[in-house]
Amino acid sequence: MDSAILSLAGAFVLSIIGLFVFIWSLRKGLLVENPAAASVIFARGEIGHTDDPAAADGERRSLQAAASEHGSAGHGADAGELQDRVAADRSSAFPVFMFIAFALFWLILGSAAGLVSSIKLHEPDWLNQQAWMTFGRLRTVHLTAVLYGWITNAALGMILWLLPRLLRTPLHAPVWTMLGGALINTGIAAGIGAIASGWSDGMEYLEIPWQIGIFILVGFVLIVLPVLYTLVNRKVEHLYVTVWYTVAALLWISLLFLVGKMPGVHTGVQQATTNWWYGHNVLGLWFTPVSVGAIYYFLPKIIGRPVRSYNLSILGFWTLAFFYGQVGGHHLIGGPVPGWLTTLSIVQSMMMVIPVVAFSINMAGTMKGRMHLARYSPTLRFMMFGGAMYFLSSIQGSLESLRSMNAVTHFTHYTVGHAHLGAYAFVTMVLFGAVYFMMPRVLNWEWPFPRLITVHFWLAAVGIGIYFVALTVGGWLQGVAMLDPARTFMESVAVTLPYLQWRSVGGTLMLASHLVFAGHFLAMALRFGPQRTGAALFAHSRELEVVYGK
Ligand code: HEM
């Protein structure tokens, strides 16, 4: 038996054993409802207090008033615990700023490359004088810049900000994390340069040459070590579910990257299997847990109410951990791989409904009666949008893995629409929201022009809406045309043309939203705008920090 099949079978057996251990722990009552763990994100007396540092002064008051109508406002929060939070935020501020600044740079570069690639699909003669300008290279530059440059940097920044808060412990050895970040970004820059000049490992999501990948791997290790040290030396007893999601995700991505990039180990069909084992796991075991973990923190924190069911959130975590490992095989349906491998992957893809439904029920319960708070909280809008899109993209993904549906959608633009529903509408929107929440605490400055946050939200939401609908309809028609023996292949290409043009319209709005976001971030970092004493601001004196620095 070759190594790829062996590792898949091993992962399957492990997930089944894990499932039985999980059932056993349920029977033993090890997962009884745990309100103390659900409240760990609040200081004593803080439940009932809303919190959105991105909200302007008036919005903040309306947010609290609207929340108070539906629940108790709680008493004053424990000053000592708030002070601990201020210290935790301080410990991670510099690395977090560094990661987010890198993330924004790659977001602009990556989405510009995405837009140019998109236009090329309906204007194929545009910008093709140089090899690096051709579709094949620019598409890959886009992918590497947005997935590794934007999402990975933003996720790392967010994890480093969240963990000290959740563990009530200052980040250990922040310099190591910065060194790790520098190595990762050197790797990304070198990788993009290599891809543009035609040097690539040639596997989707793993295009960065392995020699450069070493930088990224060492970078991850330098981040994982201080995170683990901080975790072990934490001051809290209960590990909030966000800690489970984010720390596990950090370990998973490091391991995935190590296995996926090992040179000379996988060849032929095995290589394709490993490629998609990596390709889908990077979405499911890195982007997804980080974003789900973020929603589990920010959403309850903003509305001032603990998550509805802590146990359901843990169930979501473990089922994600058990079932995700084999999902990638559904990319190989119809390929020259053993039938059992794709069937196993289809079954596991359907099982993914469990964590998604667990998450959605939990969030609906937590938000019950408080949906309207999104009117006043910019961060909440992004989080709610992202959460809803998690449900949609995961259910769509499970259905796409069915052989009947896959027969139509595989090799069409439909899949690209799905990829953006997950990577953009879900993950990227959640990360936008997280950046809006974190930065006032990190930079000690409010967002200078709060209206720009709303402009950003609507440009991005409408842009991805157009993008997704256009490619879903166009991709489906393309698939149907390809399956029809009476029609020529060129017909299946021509039918997509108007939809590809609409995708460029959606992409232009998305890029415009990113420019607004990056401009606003720059204005904030350069201390533009009025200095207000609203929710967002850490005041200069220590006492006021406690008052405002929630
Ligand atoms: C943070 C923002 C974005 C993320 C995370 C993202 C993610 C992705 C992913 C995962 C793929 C691979 C899809 C697949 O192979 O199935 C992809 C491809 C692509 N994306 Fe994006 N994307 C983003 C923004 C954009 C924007 C603004 C545009 C502009 C139109 C765009 C245009 C494209 C194009 C043209 C492709 C290649 C599709 C193909 O090969 O047919 N993306 N992107």
pLDDT digits (tens), the chain, 550 positions: 566 677 677 777 877 787 787 777 767 666 666 777 888 899 988 999 999 999 988 888 899 999 886 555 556 788 888 888 999 999 999 999 999 999 999 999 999 999 999 999 999 999 999 999 999 999 999 999 999 999 999 999 999 999 999 999 999 999 999 999 999 999 999 999 999 999 999 999 999 999 999 999 999 999 999 999 999 999 888 889 999 999 999 999 999 999 999 998 888 888 999 999 999 999 999 999 999 999 999 999 999 999 998 888 888 898 898 888 889 999 999 999 989 889 989 998 998 998 999 999 999 999 999 999 999 999 999 999 999 999 999 999 999 999 999 999 999 999 999 999 999 999 999 999 999 999 999 998 999 999 999 999 999 999 999 999 999 999 999 999 999 999 999 999 999 999 999 999 999 999 999 999 999 999 999 988 776 544 444 444 444 444 444 4
Q: Is the CB of 111 under 6 A from ligand 1?
A: yes
Residue nearest to atom 24 of ligand 1 (CA): 111
So what's the pLDDT on residue 547?
42
Q: Are the C-beta atoms of 74 and 47 separated by less than 8 Å? A: yes
Residue nearest to atom 28 of ligand 1 (CA): 114
Tokens of 519: 């401009």
- Write the DSSP symbol of residue 170: P
Is residue 334 classed exposed, middle or buried when 0-12, 13-18 and 19+ CB atoms within 10 A define those classes?
exposed
Q: Which of 144, 205, 416, 500 has the most ligand 1 atoms within 8 A of CB, as the residue to mutate?
A: 416
Residue nearest to atom 16 of ligand 1 (CA): 416
Dist. CA 106 → ligand 1 center (Å): 14
Q: Is the CB of 424 under 6 A from ligand 1?
A: yes
Residues composing the chain: 550
Q: Are the C-beta atoms of 524 and 445 separated by less than 8 Å? A: yes
Long-range pairs, 479-487, Cβ under 8 A, ≥24: 479/407, 479/408, 479/409, 479/410, 479/411, 479/412, 479/414, 480/408, 482/411, 482/412, 483/407, 483/408
Ligand 1 atom nearest 467 alpha carbon: 30
CA distance 463 to 111: 12
Q: Is the CB of 409 under 6 A from ligand 1?
A: no
Dist. CA 84 → ligand 1 center (Å): 41
Q: Is the CB of 120 under 6 A from ligand 1?
A: no
Give the Cβ contact number of residue 31 at 10 Å: 16
Q: Is the CB of 510 under 6 A from ligand 1?
A: yes
So what's the pLDDT on residue 550?
43
Q: Which of 382, 410, 424 has the most ligand 1 atoms within 8 A of CB, as the residue to mutate?
A: 424
Give this prediction's pTM.
Answer: 0.93
CA distance 180 to 261: 18
Residue nearest to atom 14 of ligand 1 (CA): 416
CA distance 75 to 82: 14
CA distance 467 to 215: 34
Q: Is the CB of 143 under 6 A from ligand 1?
A: yes
Q: Is the CB of 115 under 6 A from ligand 1?
A: yes
